[in-house]
A and B are shown apart, each in its own frame.
Chain A
Amino acid sequence: MTDQLDHQVTVEDLSALMKRTAGVHVDPVTLGQQADDGFDTFGLDSLGLLGIVAELEKRYGLGLPEQAERCKTPADFLALVNGALRTGV
């Protein structure tokens, strides 16, 4: 479980997850530029975000905080998830 300390979820990862789990295409550059826009402006709904959280939890083998699925923007989400990955909480 050491790799979780090394890994951070990037904008590219998030873009790929949005496409794969929710069918929402936003290229990483756009997502990075508009990281403070609401997920809903990209067409990602609450179930889609739950699916992404579940994917990350399986990938890194840990539970993410409950707030993760309530994040409104990509920036908030990445900050929260990467914070949790750093501390391993």
Chain B
Amino acid sequence: MTRRRVAVTGIGVVAPGGIGVPQFWSLLSDGRTATRRISLFDPAGLRSQIAAECDFEASEHGLGLATAQRSDRYVQFALVAAAEAVRDAHLDMDREDPWRAGATLGTAVGGTTRLEHDYVLVSERGARWDVDDRRAEPHLERAFTPATLSSAVAEEFGVHGPVQTVSTGCTSGLDAVGYAYHAVAEGRVDVCLAGAADSPISPITMACFDAIKATSPNNDDPAHASRPFDADRNGFVMGEGAAVLVLEDLEHARARGADVYCEISGYATFGNAYHMTGLTKEGLEMARAIDTALDMAELDGSAIDYVNAHGSGTQQNDRHETAAVKRSLGEHAYNTPMSSIKSMVGHSLGAIGSIELAACVLAMAHQVVPPTANYTTPDPECDLDYVPREARERTLRHVLSVGSGFGGFQSAVVLSASEGALR
């Protein structure tokens, strides 16, 4: 089987700090943070009362009333991001063979926020186990299964090829793009809408991370709460959002005269078989994912110009991935900028992997490395170049993005500049 080259021809982003790619890139390149006290519900009583929220009105982004009504917030995010990506790619779905077009979207917690909303109604605020079905609101079944996410995107854009929702916890956004990459590379589809969405800012999701003290309790200073790699980091800050990439067979993209941002050149994922939430100190499994993705891209670790870190800002994560990157890139790791945009847009669980890939695509397009905001105090165990607070110009030909997810998932994606790229 000949592996086809896979081009990125469009991107769309819904992220905290502004909806759309220009707003997203402006936030990242300025090093601003979008974390604040939660406004989507009253967080009083929670250990972590902060998050990076999207100021999002469905009607302002071209979603019809009927679509908005039947779609959960995370699905709305995905629809808006996908529309931007399709426009950006100048992809005319009427000219595509719909059976050769796919959609692969990731989400970690899917319709949980809506499920909780209706749970409160049917259970009379947690008073009864034998919940009352008559109090449920319409379209609840669409929140029940996360298959709704990719289904809604496929419906909206007339996709008739393979459609999948990927849910591998916090690596969902990397894995969804990885699965789509395989589908295009192996010839099952010519075009694929690939991305991820989550809207997890709800009492149950905040409470479940409170219970394991994974989120930051820096309630007094939300703007500086997300501190990846900083010695004073104390947990991640919840986020929400979506990003969608248009992936395309490179020849297909060239034939239709599409501009190519870059290529996906490698992807791999492994389990750590260690712990559902815990990470090893050594990072062997993430290193293996990086090595395998580099092999697929036929690259040596020394070719990597920038590492987009998972960088969640928990004590264990940041050490784990620093160790993994050092293991894979060797001495070159010390000369390679590695930053976490979670410092600015928070950690939107399943969505963030795709949002980070969109950031990588933009970084390559602008030849600018986004910074790690809030990084001020080095941690001796995290001794790489984390691009403190300010974006940096740099020649970027090969970029690596990594992620870890609950369940032990360790994933890596490599992006490479495309020869003869028009952008």
Is there any pair of Cβ atoms, one from A and one from B, under 8 angstroms apart in the complex?
Answer: yes
Please, which residues of chain B bring their CB within 8 A of the CB of A50?
211-213
Interface size on B, residues (CB 8 A): 7
Considering the complex, which residues of chain B in the window 249-285 have a beta carbon less than 8 Å from any beta carbon of chain A?
275-278
Please, which residues of chain A bring their CB within 8 A of the CB of B277?
46-47
**Does residue A37 face the partner (Cβ distance < 8 Å to B)?**
no
**Does residue A12 face the partner (Cβ distance < 8 Å to B)?**
no
Please, which residues of chain B bring their CB within 8 A of the CB of A47?
212, 276-277
A45 to B274, CA, bound (A): 11
Please, which residues of chain B bring their CB within 8 A of the CB of A51?
211
A73 to B212, CA, bound (A): 19
Please, which residues of chain A bring their CB within 8 A of the CB of B212?
47, 50
A46 to B275, CA, bound (A): 10
**Does residue A76 face the partner (Cβ distance < 8 Å to B)?**
no
Please, which residues of chain A bring their CB within 8 A of the CB of B276?
47
Considering the complex, which residues of chain A in the window 33-80 have a beta carbon less than 8 Å from any beta carbon of chain B?
45-47, 50-51, 54, 69
Please, which residues of chain A bring their CB within 8 A of the CB of B278?
45-46
Interface size on A, residues (CB 8 A): 7
Question: Quick one: CB contact mask for B207-238 with A, threshold 8 Å, 1 for yes?
Answer: 00001110000000000000000000000000
Considering the complex, which residues of chain B in the window 274-315 have a beta carbon less than 8 Å from any beta carbon of chain A?
275-278
Considering the complex, which residues of chain B in the window 130-179 have a beta carbon less than 8 Å from any beta carbon of chain A?
none
A60 to B105, CA, bound (A): 45
A47 to B278, CA, bound (A): 9
Please, which residues of chain B bring their CB within 8 A of the CB of A45?
275, 278
CB pair B213–A69 under 8 Å, yes or no, is yes
Please, which residues of chain A bring their CB within 8 A of the CB of B213?
50, 69
A69 to B213, CA, bound (A): 10
Specify the chain A residue showing the minimal Cβ separation from B278: A46
Minimum Cβ distance to chain B for residue A55 (Å):
11
A50 to B277, CA, bound (A): 13
Specify the chain B residue showing the minimal Cβ separation from A53: B213
A46 to B214, CA, bound (A): 12
Minimum Cβ distance to chain A for residue B283 (Å):
18
Minimum Cβ distance to chain B for residue A88 (Å):
21
A50 to B210, CA, bound (A): 11
Specify the chain A residue showing the minimal Cβ separation from B316: A46
Considering the complex, which residues of chain B in the window 168-220 have a beta carbon less than 8 Å from any beta carbon of chain A?
211-213
Please, which residues of chain B bring their CB within 8 A of the CB of A46?
275, 277-278
Minimum Cβ distance to chain B for residue A14 (Å):
20
CB pair B275–A54 under 8 Å, yes or no, is no
A50 to B211, CA, bound (A): 8
Specify the chain B residue showing the minimal Cβ separation from A45: B275
Minimum Cβ distance to chain A for residue B213 (Å):
7
Specify the chain B residue showing the minimal Cβ separation from A66: B213
Minimum Cβ distance to chain A for residue B176 (Å):
27
A15 to B350, CA, bound (A): 37
Specify the chain B residue showing the minimal Cβ separation from A51: B211
Minimum Cβ distance to chain A for residue B212 (Å):
6
Minimum Cβ distance to chain B for residue A61 (Å):
15
Specify the chain B residue showing the minimal Cβ separation from A46: B278
A45 to B408, CA, bound (A): 15
Minimum Cβ distance to chain A for residue B160 (Å):
43
A54 to B212, CA, bound (A): 10
Minimum Cβ distance to chain B for residue A27 (Å):
25
Minimum Cβ distance to chain B for residue A47 (Å):
6
Specify the chain A residue showing the minimal Cβ separation from B234: A66
Among B212, B275, B276, the one with the most A-chain Cβ atoms within 10 Å of its Cβ is B212
Specify the chain A residue showing the minimal Cβ separation from B277: A47
A47 to B276, CA, bound (A): 9
Among A46, A51, A69, the one with the most B-chain Cβ atoms within 10 Å of its Cβ is A46
Chain A interfacial positions (CB closer than 8 Å to B): 45-47, 50-51, 54, 69
Pick 5 A–B contacts, CB within 8 A, sort by A. Answer: A45-B275, A47-B276, A50-B213, A51-B211, A69-B213
Chain B interfacial positions (CB closer than 8 Å to A): 211-213, 275-278
The 8 A-B residue pairs whose C-beta atoms are closest, nearest first, are A50-B212, A47-B212, A46-B278, A45-B275, A47-B277, A54-B211, A50-B211, A50-B213
Taking A45-B278, A54-B211 as given, write out 5 further A-B residue pairs in contact, using a Cβ cutoff of 8 Å, ordered by the A residue number. A46-B275, A46-B277, A47-B212, A47-B276, A50-B213
